Amino acid sequence: MKVHLKALGCRLNEAELEQWSRSFRASGHDIVTEPSIADVVVVNTCAVTTDATKKSRKLMNRLHRENPHSKLVVSGCYATLDNKNVAERIGVDLVIPNQEKDKLPQHVMDAFSANTMPLVAMEPGESSLFARGRQRAFIKIQDGCRYRCTFCIVTVARGDERSRSLADIIDEVNTLVEEGIQEIVLTGVHVGGYGSDIDATLYDLVKMILEETDIPRVRFASVEPWDLPDNFFALFENPRLMPHMHLPLQSGADSVLRRMSRRCKTEEFKALVEQARRAIPNFNVTSDIIVGFPGETDEEWQQTMAYVESVGFGHLHIFSYSPREGTKAARLANPVDNEIKKQRSKELHVLAARMKQETLEQQKGLQVDVLWEQAKQNSDGKMVYTGYAPNYLKVETCIDPTHINKGKSLKNTISKTQIDGFSLDTLHLQGTIL
């Protein structure tokens, strides 16, 4: 059976794709990159915003049009929240809600009579990530969230917190190391809440990964700022822990944060960021901001703009608020006019671009070990490599293909910067090109 996997939305959805990929391949089925040749197409949908649900529906329709003879399997948050309507859509053969996600490959094989183990299953040491053109692995460490931010529909779709065991995660990381993976990203709905149900913590997990695996690079997906203990940043003394964290802020006005039921005040957030920057050289902080939350006044918006600029971020994900049925915020009074949301979003995008450029300018002259992930040949016949520096800033370098034959690694000094990445001069061989 040929299986094509597709995800929308968060890194957790990507991590789940990798788990499914392993299960299918372990049972002897092929993971294919083109949906047009697949026997089964699996879509992991998103519902974090109304736009995300629209994109999920469009993707389902497109995949069915491209290969109407394949079996279309739909899972994820949109499929869970609107199960009945998704199941009735043209082309959908099977809907698997989030509660059954961990068993999705088995459900698919049961439904489509593909349980027989072929003579040749997955070759040892061959990563299903590489089969999908990926070099970085997303590790799902937990699911669900015990908090209820008033704007968030994901906690409704994902349910209560459920953590994987320490031993299970360590085994997965060690398997990935054997397969040649260079970097992992720890992801979940509530990453900082890891272990709340199994008498463990995120600190315990990271410490164990650094002690009991040889994975070269470890990153985090989004981590709620209130979850980090006082000693957390001491972990970054180990250079294998990459100097970047995505700490979602959502607003720079405490009055708005209270309406959102966020558990971190602006003063506490800034203190946390300053602590990280003091402890870790070249530490990059990125964040999320919601524009136009119900009741957001001009004064509160100006507070947010001033606060964001005072903290400084390497990158911002900016979302215009959209009401989600089933959340408390959808019932709040004084919605912000769409035109006002558009103007505020534009203002914040301008500020975010300036902060990003300032962050890039600070990198000049630094030597960085880059995880090279993609390569293509330009019109001059040179190879253009792109990848990520340890602090998760995107890097690009252009070199002659004959230079690559001298070795598999490059160390780089940043010579100039631009808003969408770095331009690097190659110095000497070190590190890894993938």
Residue 124 domain-assigned (yes or no): no
Distances (CA, A) of 37 to 2, 206, 346: 7, 40, 42
Q: Do 351 and 292 reside in the same domain of the chain? A: yes
- Asked whether residue 390 carries a pLDDT value surpassing 80, the answer given is yes
Cα 164 off chain centre by = 18
The burial class, CB within 10 Å (0-12 / 13-18 / 19+), for 237 is: exposed
Q: Considering the chain, what is the average pLDDT of its residues?
A: 86
Q: Do 60 and 9 reside in the same domain of the chain? A: yes
- Asked whether residue 132 carries a pLDDT value surpassing 50, the answer given is no
Residue 117 domain-assigned (yes or no): no
What CATH number is given to the structural domain containing 220?
3.80.30.20
3-state class (DSSP) for residue 119: coil
DSSP character string of 290-357: EES-TT--HHHHHHHHHHHHHH--SEEEEEE----TTSGGGG-SSPPPHHHHHHHHHHHHHHHHHHHH
Q: What pLDDT score was predicted for residue 130?
A: 41
Q: Are residues 245 and 285 in contact, defined by beta-carbon separation less than 8 angstroms?
A: yes
Helices (H), 199-291: 202-212, 254-260, 266-279
Residue 106 domain-assigned (yes or no): yes
Region for 316 from its dihedrals, namely left if φ exceeds 0, alpha if ψ lies in -120 to 50, beta otherwise: beta
Residue 433 DSSP code: B
- Asked whether residue 434 carries a pLDDT value surpassing 80, the answer given is no
Specify the pairing of strand 421-428 against strand 411-418: antiparallel
CA angle 75, 77, 83 (to 5 degrees): 65
Q: Do 329 and 404 reside in the same domain of the chain? A: no
What is the domain range of residue 381? 367-428
% the chain with pLDDT above 90: 64
Q: Do 375 and 424 reside in the same domain of the chain? A: yes
Q: What pLDDT score was predicted for residue 159?
A: 87
CA pair distance 290, 295, nearest whole angstrom:
13
What does the pLDDT look like over 348-366, one tens digit per residue?
999 999 999 999 888 888 8
116 pLDDT tier (thresholds 50, 70, 90): very low
Residue 434 domain-assigned (yes or no): no
Q: Are residues 329 and 150 in contact, defined by beta-carbon separation less than 8 angstroms?
A: yes
Q: Final residue of a domain: which of 314, 344, 361?
A: 361
**Cβ of 406: how many Cβ atoms within 10 Å?**
10
CA angle 22, 27, 31 (to 5 degrees): 55
What CATH number is given to the structural domain containing 15?
3.40.50.12160
Q: Do 375 and 340 reside in the same domain of the chain? A: no
Residue 120 domain-assigned (yes or no): no
Residue 373 domain-assigned (yes or no): yes
User: What's the rounded mean pLDDT across residues 127-134?
Assistant: 45
Q: Do 273 and 296 reside in the same domain of the chain? A: yes
Residue 431 DSSP code: S
Q: Do 52 and 142 reside in the same domain of the chain? A: no
Q: Do 319 and 384 reside in the same domain of the chain? A: no
DSSP E strand boundaries for 110-207 = 136-140, 142-143, 162-163, 183-187
Look at the chain and report how many structural domains it folds into.
Answer: 3
Kindly report which listed range (20-34, 39-53, 143-157, 390-404) carries the lowest average pLDDT score: 390-404
CA angle 231, 232, 234 (to 5 degrees): 75
Q: Do 286 and 164 reside in the same domain of the chain? A: yes
Q: CA neighbours within 13 Å on the CB side: how many for 270?
A: 15
Which helix (DSSP H) or strand (DSSP E) does residue 362 occupy? none
Instruction: Between 415 and 432, name the one with better pLDDT.
Output: 415
Q: Do 243 and 390 reside in the same domain of the chain? A: no
Q: What pLDDT score was predicted for residue 402?
A: 59
Q: Final residue of a domain: which of 321, 345, 361?
A: 361
Distances (CA, A) of 336 to 153, 290, 304: 19, 12, 15
Q: What pLDDT score was predicted for residue 347?
A: 98
Residue 123 domain-assigned (yes or no): no
Q: Do 225 and 255 reside in the same domain of the chain? A: yes
Q: Are residues 187 and 234 in contact, defined by beta-carbon separation less than 8 angstroms?
A: no
CA pair distance 68, 170, nearest whole angstrom:
40
Instruction: Between 118 and 255, name the one with better pLDDT.
Output: 255
3-state class (DSSP) for residue 116: coil
Q: Final residue of a domain: which of 62, 81, 111?
A: 111
Of 181, 23, 113, give the one whose Cα is nearest residue 31: 23
Residue 126 domain-assigned (yes or no): no
Q: Do 32 and 8 reside in the same domain of the chain? A: yes
What does the pLDDT look like over 262-281, one tens digit per residue?
999 999 999 999 999 999 99
pTM value is: 0.83
What does the pLDDT look like over 70-100, one tens digit per residue?
999 999 999 999 988 899 887 899 999 999 9
Q: Residues, the chain, total?
A: 434
